[in-house]
Structure 1
Amino acid sequence: MADEVEYTESEKNNNEISITASSAEEKDKIYRRIRESDDLKDLLNEDLDFLIEKFATIDVDTAIVVLTEAVDYHDDDVNFPTQTMNRIKQLLQYFSQPEDEPFKNEFFLLEDYQLDLRLAATLIKYHSPYPEVRAVCKPFDDPTIPVETFRAYLVGFFWVGCASFINEFFWLRQPKITLNSTVIQVLTYPTGKFVARILPRKTIRIFGREFTINHDMPWTFKEQMLVAIMANVGLGGTDFLNYATTMKLSMFFGLDYIGYGFVWLMNFSVQTFGIGVSGILRRWVVYPTKAVWPTALPTLQLNKTLLLPESKKPVHGWTVTRYQFFFWAFASTFLYYFIPDYLFTALSTFNWITWIAPKNKNLAFVTGSKLGMGYNPLPTFDWAVINYTLPLSVPFYTAANRYIGVLVSGLVIIGCFFSNYKFTGYVPINTSGVYDRYGKTYNISRVLTPDHTLDPAKYRAYSPPYVSAGNLVYMGASYALMTFSIVYVMWGEWPLLVEATRGLVKSLRAPSKSNYENHKDPISVMMSKYPEVPDWWFFVIFVISLVVGIIGLRCYPTGTPIWAIIIMVLVSLLLLIPIAVMYSVTGYMVGLQQMGVILGSYMVPGNAIANMMCRAYGFNIDDQADSFISDQKLGHYAKLPPRAVFRAQISATLIQVTTTTGALQFLFTAVPDLCSYTQAARFVCSFPHQLYSDTLLLGVVGPYRTFDVLYPILKWAFLIGVLAGVPVHYIRKELIKRYDFFQFVQPVVFLGGFVRWGSTYNLSYFTGGFYMSWIFMYYIRRRYLAWWTKFNYVLSSALTAGVAFSGILIFLALQYHPKKLKWWGNDVSSAGVDGKDVATLYSVDAEHPYFGLADGQWK
C-alpha cells in the first residue's frame, strides 16, 4: 500500500529543505518538466524547491517500489487521476521489461523517462497523488508556527457566536442562506490581522500557567485554520433544532414544554455525541490517504488564498491574483443577488415553461419549480439554488451519479402520480405533507391521547394518513439505500475496515502508542511529531453527552425509555463506519434518519415524541460525527496539533449550542406564520415538515399499519437493498475491468438521488448545479487544470460569500418588515397552478366525499 512507504528517522524529523540538491543541469530539467505539467506549474517556489530536494533522494529502484505500492492501493480509487494512473502503469511496464526487449511505446520516446518515474514517486512519497490536495496543502510543516493562541480563540469565539445565530435563523428558509466556513474566513482574516495589531504583547498567568496574549508574529496560516475549524463546528448547526420546531409549533405537535432548557440539553447531547464518536472514526477516515474529503478542500484553498504567497506567473493568460479574483467575484455576486432575491424573483425559481399555460395542471406537475417536479432545462439564475448541491466542491462523478438518480426517480414519481398509485393522485405530487381521506392536511390531534400516543378508536373513526408520490418514492428509496449502502460499502471496503478495527484494538491495548505509527504517508509522518488525542478523551465526552441526554429525557415528559436510546446509539455506531468511509471518498453522505424512525416505531410503538428522540440519536450522532471528523481531516491537511483541534471543537460546540438554542427561541417569536408553505420570506421549514410526516406514519400510526395496510411495498425495500449490495459490487467490479468508465459509476450515490424528493425541493435544485459541475469539475478541470487549481475553490467561496452577505442585508432591510415590490417579474412564478400548494390530479366532491381505503379496511 502507498501508505506503507518506509521513512528513515532523518526524514521523519526533516521539516525544512536540507538535503543537497542534484546537479544544476538535472535541477533545471526537473523545473522544466514540472512547469510543463498542467497541475504542477502553479506550485509555490518553496514547495517546488522542497520537492526537487526530495527528488534527489529517490533513485529508480526506490521509485519503482513507491509506484508499485501506489498502483496496488489506488487502482480502484475514483479520486486518483486516470491519466496519472495510466502513466504510472506505463512507466512500471517499461521498467519491468528485459533490457534486450525494449518496450515499444511512443510515450517513452521522451527525453528522460527515468525523470518521470522519479518525479511521480516523489509526489506520492512526499506530497499527494491528488491534484486537489496538492492545490491546497503544503508538502512540509513548520511546527513553530503559533496555532492555539489567545487571539485565535478570541476571534474564533466572536465569529462562531455571531454566525451560528445567523445560520440558525436562516436554516428553516428555502433555499437556505448560510454563513459557511468560507464566509467566516473572509471575516476572520481582517479581524485576525486587526486583533494581532491592537492586542498588547504581554503574558498573563492563569492557574499557574503563563499565556501570551499576543505573539510577535503576524496573524498566521495555522491560526486562521483553527478558527475555520471552530467556525465549521459552530456553523454546521444541529438537526435537533428542527425536531424542536416540529415538537413546538401548533401546526405539528404543539408541545408547551419545548423551551430553552429542554432544547439546550438535547442540543448539547447530540452535538457532543458526535465529538465522542469522531475519535473512533479517525482510523477509517482521517489517516488513510484515500479519505480525500473533497468537501473540506475549499476551506484550505481560501485559507491559502488569504495568507500564503502565490506564483505571479500567468495561468492560461490570467494574471489576476487569487485575492483579487475572490473580491471581484464576491462583489459581483453581492450586487447581482438583489435581482433574483428581491427585484426579479422569478429568476430564482424560473418556472418559465408554466408561463406558457399557467392554468394547465399537468404542465405544472411535470415542469413546475414550486409545486411540480422541476423538469426544466433552465430552472434558475440564482446561485443560492444552484449551490444547493455544492457543484464546485463535490467531484463531477458524484454530481453526475446523484443527478441521474434524481432524474430517473422523478420519472418513477410521475408514473405513480398519473396512475394514481395508492391514491397519490389525490394529494400534491411532491410534498412532505400528510393528508386525510378527505384531502385535508392530516389533523394528528384527532388520533392522539393526552400523552401523545395513538388512540386506536379515534384512528378508526377518523382516517388513515396518505402521502404524495414523491414522499412514497423517498421513503422506499431511503429504506433500500440504508440497507444497500451498508452491505455494498462494507463488502467493498472490508480490508480497510478490518485494518482500522485492528488499529483500534491495538490502541486500546497500548494507549500510549500513536495511531500514526500505522500510516506512513507524508502527512501522517509530519503529524506524528505532535501529541495525539488519547481515545479516552473522546470516551469521556461520549459519556458526558449520554448523561446530559438522559437528564433531558427524564426531566421533561417525553415518554422516552432510556433503554431505547441506548440501543439506538449502539446500532448507529455499528452503521456509521461504512457510511463515513463513503462520505470521505465521494463527498456524499448516506443519512440514517429512517433507521431511527423505524427502530423507534418498534421499540416504542405509537409514541410520537419517543420516536423523534430515537431518530435524533439515530441520525444526529452520525451527522455530527461526520462533521467533526471532516474538520479533523482539515486539521490533518493543515498540520494542526490534534489536541488543539480537539479543544477548539469542544469550545466552539459549547458556544454554538447556547447561541443556536437562543436563535430558535427568537425565531418562534419574531417570524410570523413560521413554517407555512406560504410564509412571506420563505421560512417554509422543509425538514420539519418531512420529520412530521415520517413521525406520523411510523411513530404514531406505526409500522404495521403503514407497511402492511397502507403501503406494503415499502417493507420490501429493505430486502431489496440487502440482496442487491453484493451482486452490484461484483458486477461493477467486472465492468471496471472491461471499461474504465465504470469506476466513476457509484451505485450508492445514484440511489441517493432517489431520496431527494418528498419535500419542497425538486429537480430544479439539481439541474443548474449539474451544469456548473460539468463546466468546472469536468471540462475546465480536464482542459485547464492550472486555472482550475488556482481559481476553482476561490470562485466557489466568493459566490457563496456574496450570496450570504447579500441575502442577510436583503432580509434585514427589505423582508424582516416586508417592503414588497409588486410587478410582473415578482408575481409571474406564483400566478399559475405551480404557485399553489394544494393542486392535485383528482379531488373529492359531494358525490365522492372521500378517497382511499374503504371503511373497515384500516384498523
Structure 2
Amino acid sequence: MAPYIEKTPSYSDTSDVAVEKKTEVVVGEVPRIDDVEFIINRIKESDDLEDIFEEDAMFIVDKLRQMEQEEALEVLEHAQRYFDGDMNFPQATMTKIRLLLQGSEAYGIGAALYDLDVRLEASMIKYHSPYPEVRSVCSPIDDPTQQCETFRVYLIAGIWTAFAAFVNNMIYWRQPYFTLTSQVVQLLILPCGQAYSKIVPNWTIGFGRYKFQLNPGAWTFKEQMLSTIMANAGVSVCIFLYYMPTMRLSMFYGLSWMTYGFNLIFGFSCQFFGLSMAGILRRWVIYPVKAVWPTVLPTLQLNKTLLLPDKPRTINGWKMSKYKFFNVMLGISFVYFFFPDYIFTALSVFNWPTWIAPQNQNLAFVMGSKIGVGINPIASFDWSVINYSIPLTVPFYTVLNRYVGTVIGGIIILIMMYTNYLYSGYVPPNLATIYDRYGTTYNSTRVLTDGYFDLDKYKAYSPPYMTAGAIVLNGADYALTTFGFLYIMISEWSTIKEATVGFYRALRARKSSNFDDYEDPMSQMMRKYPEVPDWWYLLILLLSIALGLIAITCWDTQTPVWVFFAMMFVTIALVVPSMMMYAATGYMYTVYLLGTLLGGYWVPGSGIACIFTRSLGYGLDEQAQTYVGDQKMGHYAKIAPRAVFRAQFYATIVQTFVGFASWEMLEAGMPDLCSTTQPSRFVCTFAHTMYSQSLLLGVIGPKRTFDTLYPSLKYAFIIGAGLAPICFLLRKYFPKYFYYCQPVLILAGIARWGSSYNISYYTPGMIASFFFMYYIRSRYTMWWAKYNYILSSALTAGTAFCGILVFVALQYHAKTLTWWGNSVATAGVDGALVATVFDVPEVGYFGVANGTWS
C-alpha cells in the first residue's frame, strides 16, 4: 500500500468551522479496517478518551467493522438533523460530521482513512452516545447478570439515606449552606458494602418461595449505583420542610397546630406527588438522547472511579490515577474548609472592598457581599460558595447565561435604588424583608384578625414595601413563567409531541415496552429489563392526592379542596417544559412564585393558603427533578427500572420520616433560629423570602399589590409571553450571533435576586466554570475527561465532611473564635443590613399618601 501523511481537522477547536492542521504521522501503510490497534488509538484520539476501557473500545471496533459506509452516512445525516441547534452537542463534532458528509475530498484525507472516520463517528453515535461527557462516564456494554437489587443494598443505603436526610434537612437553613451530596454519600456507602461482603455469612433467608441471599458475593458496581440512587433521595431536602420556619416560628406565622403528624401526612403527599410525576415524565426527559442531565454525570464518574479499574497513563503530564487524585483533593478540601468555615470566615464572603471604608454606604451598596449587589472580582475562597453555580458540572454556557442575567439584575437594582423607583431607596437594596412605611420590618400581626386579612387594620397601619432586589426577583420570575413555557414548547415541540403520543399509546397497549419508540443504544440495552407500568405511578399519584386532601381538610390550612386540585393541574401543565430545560442545561425554573400568586387570588387575605399552594407547585417541580434525575442515572448505569422504582419509594419513606424529625430537633435546640444575627449563621434565608412573598401576595393580596403599589409587575407575564417567539426566531435565523444565548437562563439569572445572595456569590463560580468547563475542556480535553468530575466530587465531599464536623463540634452549641478575620466582614455598613440611600422623610413615613391605600 502507498505511504501517506495524515491531514486532519482540529476538533479541539470550539468554533463552527474546523481549522485544518497537519499532524505528524510516521510514514507507513494506509490503515485497514481490521487494524484493531490503529482503530483503538483513533477512538482515543478523536473521542478524547485516552483512558477508555479496552473492552468498550473493542465493542466499538466490532460494531465499526460490521457497519457499511452507506449505513454510516445515513447515521451521520440523521445526527446532523436531530442535533442541529443542540447546545450540548459539540460543535467541533458537528463540523466534523458536516465535512464527512461532503466526501473525502472536502474532509481532506485519503479514502481509506475517510472511510474509517465515517464508520467510527457513526458507530460512536449509534452504539454509544453522541456526547463526549456521557461517553466518559458510561459504558456501551451491559451485563444483565450483575447483582443489583439485594438485601444489603436496602440495609446499607437505608442507613445512609437516613443520615443524609437528617444532616441536610438541618444544615439547609445555614448561610452559606453546604450539603451531603450524592458523591459524599457514595464514599460512605462503598466501604460499608465492601466490608459487608467480606464479613457477613452467605445465609439464605426467606419464607416459602420468597428467598434471598444475605451476602451474595462481592459488592458490585450496580449495587453501588442503586444505593446511590436511594441515598440521593435522602440528600434532597423534603419539599414541605422548606416552609417549616415560616409556618412554625413565632417571628413568622407561629402555627402551633403544625405537629409532626401533620407534617408527615402533607410531606408524604408532596414527595409522592413528585415521584409519581417523575415516572410519568420518563418519555419527555429520560429516554430522549438530548436529555443529557449533566448534573448526574459526576456521580456516575465517581462510582466508576471507585469500583472499576483505572490504568496508569500519562495525560497532559499527569500520571496520577483517578482514585488517588480523588483522595488527594478530598484531603486538601477537608483541611482547607476549616479556614473559611470557622478559622477565617471572611474568606467565605470575601467583601474586601468594603474593608477599605467600612462606613461608606455607596461602596457597600455597589461592592458589598451582604447588603449590596456584590460587584467584586475576587469574592470568595470558599468552595461551598463557588459551587453555588455547580461550575464543574453544568455546561459553561449555562453558567455564563445565568451570570449575565445576574449582572443585568444587579445593574437594574442600582438604578432603581438610586432613582428611588417605587420607593426602593428608602429600604436596603437586596433583602427579602418586607418593610412598612416607617422603614421597619413589616408586622403581619397588625393586619390580621383570626389569621385573615383585616382591611381596617391595614388602613391604620401601612402598605408593604419591597426592596429593589425583591422587585427584580418577582418581575423576572413572572416573566420567566410565561416565557419559559412558551419558548420550550416552541423549540422542543417535536420531542414533546412524540413523547405525548407515546404516553397515550402505552396506556392503551399496556404490554408494550416504553423503549420501543427509542432507537438509541441506552434504550435498546434497557429493553431486556421489565419496565415499570405507568399505572404504578398513577397509583402513587392517587395516594398523594388522598394524603393531601386529608391534610388540608383535617387541619386549619385555610386551603379549599378545589384550590388543591387547581394547583395540581397548573403545575402538571408547566412541569414538562421546566424539566426539559433542566435535563439539557442543569437548570430548572420552577412555578413556586406562580403558586404564591395564584394562592393570593384564590384565597384572598390568607398567607397560610398562599404557602400551601406554593408548596404544591414547588414540590412537584423540585421533587420530580430529584426523582427524574435519579431515574436518568439508573438509565445510564443500566439498572432495572423496577429496581429503581422500589428503591426510590423506600428512600422516600425513610427521608420523610427523618427529615421532619431533624427539623423538630433543630427548632428545639438552636437558639435564635432564623434571626438575621443568629451566631451560627442559621439565618433561614428562604424562610424570610417566603414570608415576604406570602405577605405581599397572600395577606395583602395580589390585587392591592399590583394595582396600588407595584402595577408594573403584572405586565411581566405579558412581556415574557411576547418575548418567547421573538427569541426563538432570533436563535433560529441568526444562529451565528445567538447560538449560545439561552434567554431562559438569562431570565433565571435576573431572578436570583431578592435575598441576601448577590453577584459576589456567583462570580467565583463563573471564573471556575470558564477555567474548567471552557479553557481546560477545549485545550486539555483528555485531562478534563479524566479528572474534572472527580475534582468536583472531591472538593464537594471534603467540604461537606469538614462542614459537618465543624457544625457538630463547634457551631451547634456555638464555640466562637473571636478575632479580626471573623468580624471584619460584618463590621461595617455591609454587615449591618440596615443602610438605605434615602432617609425616611421628616413627616415620619414614605410611600403612598395617607388614606390612599385600601
TM-score, scaled to structure 1: 0.95
Provide the secondary structure at the position in 2 that maps to 1:478.
helix
- Does structure 1 conserve the Cα–Cα contact (< 8 Å) formed by 2:239 and 2:271? no
State the distance in 2 between where 1:744 and 1:219 align.
Answer: 43
| Mapped contact 2:233–2:626 kept (Cα < 8 A) | yes
1:262 and 1:437 mapped to 2: Cα distance? 37
Instruction: Trace 1:616-695 onto structure 2 (pairs within 5 A).
Output: 616-695=615-694
Match of 2:559 in 1: 560
More divergent stretch after superposition (107-116 vs 678-687): 107-116
Deviations 1:770-795 (A, max 9, x none): 00000110010111111111110100
User: Are 1:151 and 2:147 an aligned pair?
Assistant: no
- Counterpart in the other structure of 1:801: 797
Opposite residue 263 of structure 1, the aligned amino acid is N
- 1:794-851 deviations in whole A, cap 9, x for unaligned? 0000000111010111112222222222111111111111110211112226x32111
Q: Are positions 1:828 and 2:824 aligned together?
A: yes
- CA-atom RMSD in angstroms: 1.3
Query: Residue 206 of structure 2 aligns to a residue in which SS?
Result: strand
Q: Aligned to 2:652, what secondary structure does the other structure show? A: helix
- Rounded to whole Å, the distance in 2 between the matches of 1:710 and 1:207 is 70
1:273-292 pair list within 5 angstroms? 273-292=273-292
Paired position in structure 2 for 1:42: 51
Q: Which amino acid aligns with 2:823?
A: D
Q: Give 2:26's aligned residue.
A: none
Letter paired with 2:727: V
| Counterpart mapping for 1:132-143 below 5 A | 132-143=133-144
The DSSP-based 3-state class of the residue aligned with 1:617 is helix
| Residue 8 of structure 2: aligned partner | none
Tell me how far 1:259 sits from its aligned partner: 1.7
Structure 2 residue 453 is matched with structure 1 residue 454: yes
Other-structure match for 1:816: 812
Aligned residue identity for 2:627: F
| 2:3 aligned partner | none
Number of the residue aligned with 1:415: 415
Q: Which amino acid aligns with 1:679?
A: Q
Q: Equivalent residue for 1:702? A: 701
Letter in 2 for 1:88: I
Q: Give me the identity figure in percent.
A: 51
Aligned partner of 1:603 in structure 2 is 602
Contact 1:485/1:748 (<8 A) preserved: yes
Provide the C-alpha distance between the structure 2 equivalents of 1:699 and 1:239, rounded to a whole number of angstroms: 20
Query: Is the deviation greater in 627-636 or in 547-556?
Result: 547-556
Contact 1:38/1:784 (8 A) holds in 2? no
Q: How far apart, in 2, do the equivalents of 1:767 and 1:246 lie?
A: 30
- Match among 86, 90, 93 for residue 81 of structure 1: 90
State the partner residue of 1:245: 245
SS at match of 1:210: strand
Alignment correspondent of 2:526: 527
Equivalent in the alignment of 1:321: 321
Q: Is the 8 A contact 1:43 1:311 kept in 2?
A: no
* Number of residue pairs the alignment of both structures matches: 824
Query: 1:177-216, aligned counterparts within 5 Å?
Result: 177-206=178-207, 208-216=209-217
Q: Is the 8 A contact 2:247 2:253 kept in 1?
A: yes
Moved more, 27-36 or 750-759: 27-36
CA distance in 2, matches of 1:263, 1:52: 56
Greater mean deviation of Cα atoms: 342-351 or 325-334: 342-351
Give the match's secondary structure for 1:744. coil
| 8 Å CA contact retained: 1:605, 1:699 | yes
Q: Residue 25 of structure 1: CA displacement?
A: 5.0
Distance, in Å, in 2 between the alignment partners of 1:830 and 1:619 is 33
2:16 aligned residue: none
Measure how far apart 1:111 and its partner are. 6.1
Q: CA deviation at 1:243?
A: 1.1
Distance 2:208 2:616 in 1: 37
Per-residue deviation, residues 677-730 of structure 1 (Å, max 9, x unmatched): 111111111111111111100111011100110000000001001111111100
Alignment of 1:506-545 (within 5 A): 506-545=505-544
Q: Tell me which residue corresponds to 1:384.
A: 384
SS at match of 1:446: helix
Matching of residues 238-637 of structure 1 within 5 Å: 238-450=238-450, 452-637=451-636
Q: Name the counterpart of 1:856.
A: 851
Paired residues of 2:491 and 2:728 also in contact (CA < 8 A): yes
Give the AA of the match of 1:775.
F
Q: Is the 8 A contact 1:259 1:665 kept in 2?
A: no
Structure 1 counterpart SS, 2:67: coil
In the alignment, structure 1 residue 91 sits paired with structure 2 residue 110? no
Query: 1:317 corresponds to which letter in structure 2?
Result: G
How many Å separate the matches in 2 of 1:479 and 1:825? 41
SS at match of 2:850: coil
CA contact (8 A) 1:398 1:586 kept: yes
Q: Distance in 2 between matches of 1:731 and 1:677?
A: 44
The superposition leaves residues 341-386 of structure 1 with CA deviations (integer Å, 9 ceiling, x where unpaired) of: 1111111111110111111001001100111111000001111110
Query: Aligned runs of 1:735-746 on 2, under 5 Å?
Result: 735-736=734-735, 739=736, 742-746=738-742
Shift of 1:41: 2.1
CA distance in 2, matches of 1:561, 1:177: 37
Aligned 8 A contact 2:67 2:119 in 1: yes
2:23 aligned with 1:27, yes or no? Answer: no
Please give the secondary structure, in 1, of the residue aligned with 2:35: helix
Gaps of 5+ in 2: 1-30
Check the 8 A contact 1:45/1:311 in 2, yes or no: no
In 1: Cα distance, 2:41 partner to 2:560 partner: 68
Quick check: 1:38–1:785 contact (8 Å CA) kept in 2?
no
Q: Deviations over 1:528-571 (max 9, x none)?
A: 00000000000000000111111111221112111101010011
CA distance in 2, matches of 1:593, 1:666: 27
SS of residue matched to 2:453: coil
Please tell me whether the aligned partners of residues 533 and 646 of structure 1 are also in contact (alpha carbons under 8 angstroms): yes
2:746 corresponding residue in structure 1: 750
Instruction: String of CA shifts for 1:619-642, please: whole Å, max 9, x gaps.
Output: 211111111111100000000000
Instruction: State the distance in 1 between where 2:45 and 2:483 align.
Output: 44
Give the letter for the 2:809 counterpart: A
Report how far residue 662 of structure 1 moved: 0.2
* Contact 2:238 2:655 (C-alpha < 8 Å) held by counterparts: no
CA contact (8 A) 1:392 1:773 kept: yes
Query: In structure 2, what residue type is equivalent to 1:825?
Result: G
SS at match of 1:349: coil
Contact kept? 1:358, 1:833, Cα under 8 Å: yes
Contact 1:576/1:622, CA 8 A, preserved across alignment: yes
- Deviation, structure 1 residue 588: 0.9
The letter for the 1-side match of 2:761 is Y
Q: Are residues 1:163 and 2:164 paired?
A: yes
Distance, in Å, in 1 between the alignment partners of 2:603 and 2:44 is 64
Unaligned runs of 5+ in 1: 1-21, 96-102
Partners in 2 of 1:477 and 1:36 — Cα distance? 44
| Residues 49-58 or 360-369, more deviating | 49-58
Query: Contact 2:402–2:749 at 8 Å: present in 1 too?
Result: yes
Cα deviation for residue 32 of structure 1 reads 3.0
SS of 1:204's equivalent in the other structure is: strand
Superposition pairs of residues 766-805 of structure 1, within 5 angstroms: 766-805=762-801
| Structure 2: distance between partners of 1:25 and 1:598 | 65
